[in-house]
Amino acid sequence: MSAIPDAKNPGWAARLPLTGKVGLGLVIFWIATAIAGPWLAPYDPGAFAHQDVFAGIGAAHWLGSDYLGRDVLSRVLSGARYSVGLAAAAAIAASTTGTGMALLAAVSPRWLDEVLSRFMDTLISIPSKIFSLVLVAAVGSSLPLLFLIATLIYIPGAYRIARSQAVNLAQMDYVQVARTRGEGAAYIAIREILPNMIHPMLADFGLRFVFIVLLLSGLSFLGLGVQPPDADLGSLVRENISGLGEGAPAILVPALAIATLTVGVNLLIDALPRRRGSKEG
């Protein structure tokens, strides 16, 4: 996705509403965690550091221990990298590809639009879990494969949303003016149409990101996602599910982590400055 329209303006973060500032804070926190987490972790995330399983909050182990007695704080700090990094990369790839193909469809002759749209319909009709299962079974789980699966599954949705935006915008008078000026399709798509659909596409990106976090967590639960001893936030929730009855931090903290991550992304995106045509009131 290209730059946020107002991001070059220095004061944009200060002008965000309170919800946006909260969202921005959460996003920055999780990005920092994803980058620096492994160095900050007090214990080796794979080591059995505690005597008890599902221990509570304590001075030595701030967030207690998990179902095998490992340090939860260390595991969350290392797991964030997979959830944030992999999901964000896949969401960016899916949204960018979907938007790009939608723009292509909007400014192309009708037949190309038809071919692209029917191809996307085909892709969207494949159940996502089964698609992932088949691919993982055939090739074996790896990070690049998970990235590829998540991207492929969420391209058609992004394409659909983007195409409906782009096709409507392509009918606007300013696009007609550009056409009668003799502008090429690439200029019309990138300069005239894209800037006016960026905000809805960012909102869509937030949604895709959340879906991908959930998809990856689901795959991890089935044992097809990030492979042990590494674990993303989703697999931390699943592997500690038996601690739910005791209210152990081992399950609450990763669940809270996913929640703050996804809510933060959406708060930030919703609060980004809008650029819309003014309507007479």
Partner 1 sequence: MEPHVEVKGLRVTAGGKDDSAITIVEGVDFTIPRGGVLALIGESGSGKTTIALTLMGYARSGCRIAGGSIRLGDTDIRALDEEGLAALRGDRVAYIAQSAAASFNPSKRIMDQVVEPALIHGRMDRKSAEAKAISLFRALALPQPDSIGSRYPHQLSGGQLQRLMAAMALITGPELVILDEPTTALDVTTQIEVLRAFKHAVASQGATAIYVSHDLAVVAQMADQILVLNKGRIREAGAATQILQSPADDYTRTLMAAARPAPKPAPVAAPTKAPLLEIKGLFAGYGKVDSGGRPEIPVLRDISLSIAKGATLGVIGESGSGKSTLARVVAGLIRPASGSVNFAGARLPGGLEQRSRDQFRRIQLVFQNADTALNPAHSVADILGRPLRFYHGLKGAAQQKRVAELLDLIRLPANLADRACSGLSGGQKQRINLARALAAKPDLILCDEVTSALDTVVGAAILDLLADLRRELGLAYMFISHDIGTVRAICDDIMVLYGGMAVEMGPRSAYQAPPFHPYTDLLVGSVPELRAGWLEEQATRPPPPAIGPALEGADLCRFLPRCSARIDGLCTHFTPPRRHLPGGSDILCHHPEVVN
Q: Give the interface with partner 1 as residue ranges (CB under 8 A).
A: 5, 172-174, 176-177, 179-183, 191-192, 195-196, 275-280
The count of residues in the chain is: 281
**DSSP structure class, residue 51:** S
Closest CB to partner 1 among residues 150, 175:
175
Minimum CB separation from partner 1 for residue 20, in Å?
A: 21
Question: How far apart (Å, rounded) are the C-alpha atoms in residues 254 and 86?
Answer: 16
Question: How far apart (Å, rounded) are the C-alpha atoms in residues 90 and 219?
Answer: 15
Minimum CB separation from partner 1 for residue 1, in Å?
A: 15
Question: How far apart (Å, rounded) are the C-alpha atoms in residues 67 and 84?
Answer: 24
Closest CB to partner 1 among residues 110, 276:
276
Closest CB to partner 1 among residues 2, 122:
2
Minimum CB separation from partner 1 for residue 272, in Å?
A: 14
Report yes or no: 233 and 215 within 8 Å, Cβ to Cβ.
Answer: no
Minimum CB separation from partner 1 for residue 131, in Å?
A: 36
Task: Compute CA distances 184 → 1, 101, 116, 216, whole Å.
Answer: 22, 17, 20, 40
Minimum CB separation from partner 1 for residue 231, in Å?
A: 43
Closest CB to partner 1 among residues 34, 175:
175
Closest CB to partner 1 among residues 188, 265:
188
Minimum CB separation from partner 1 for residue 5, in Å?
A: 7
Report yes or no: 192 and 178 within 8 Å, Cβ to Cβ.
Answer: yes
Closest CB to partner 1 among residues 135, 190:
190
In sequence order, which ranges of the chain are alpha helices (DSSP H)? 18-40, 72-80, 87-107, 110-124, 128-139, 143-169, 173-181, 185-187, 194-221, 233-239, 249-271
